[in-house]
Amino acid sequence: MSRLLLRFLNPPALVLAVIFGIALQTSLFSYYPFLYLQPDIVLLLVVWCALRRNFIEGGILTIIMVSLAEAHSSAPQGLFLSSYMAIYLTLRALARYLMLDRLSTLVIVTLFVSIAWKLLNLLILYLLGLSENQWRHTISLMAPGAIVEGICAIWVYRWLERFDWFTAKDPRARQELSEDLQLEEEM
């Protein structure tokens, strides 16, 4: 029963974790020279949701997390929603054809996603007519941003794996839970 409750509390706890993550990200990395090395917690969580959550739950969590990110940025309305959702849907589609289960694979995916997300932002800004001065900045920070993202991903994904295991959201934990429930029913 307690594991069922924990499983139910997993998404709100994840949203709360994102809020604290954004607070840490925006304040810890607000000083020179760290401001150029700011990781994107929301992007890491979107990758996680795309690969470790079901389609509807992951999509809704993505929308919520992106709304939180938009509240902490001067980005034009809907920009983050479009780019993060595109990343989410692309990863979902890729996951149908590729095995993206191991932690090392997830980190490599994150590296590429970080670059793709920046390029996607640039494209949307271009379509909005705002990218005139942005491309130089984006391209110069693309590689360092992806490296920082990849390094952070190792810890964040490990923590998320443990968090999912603890809240019975992990596939193996889910399997154990359903077996237990079946046993209880039989008894």
Q: Which residues bind other proteins (CB under 8 A)?
A: 16, 19-20, 22-33, 35-36, 38, 40, 42, 55-56, 59, 63, 67-82, 85-86, 88-89, 118, 121, 124-125, 128-130, 133-134, 136-138, 141, 145
Residue closer to other proteins, measured from CB, 129 or 184: 129
CA pair distance 143, 23, nearest whole angstrom:
24
Tell the smallest beta-carbon distance from residue 96 to other proteins (Å).
Answer: 12
Tell the smallest beta-carbon distance from residue 73 to other proteins (Å).
Answer: 5
CA dihedral 136, 109, 66, 36 (to 10 degrees): -40
Using CB atoms within 10 A of its CB, is residue 85 exposed (0-12), middle (13-18) or buried (19+)?
middle
| Amino acid letter for position 167 | T
Tell the smallest beta-carbon distance from residue 155 to other proteins (Å).
Answer: 18
Residue closer to other proteins, measured from CB, 6 or 63: 63
CA pair distance 84, 59, nearest whole angstrom:
10
Spatial contact of 81 and 121, defined as CB atoms under 8 Å apart:
no
User: Three-state DSSP class for 11?
Assistant: helix
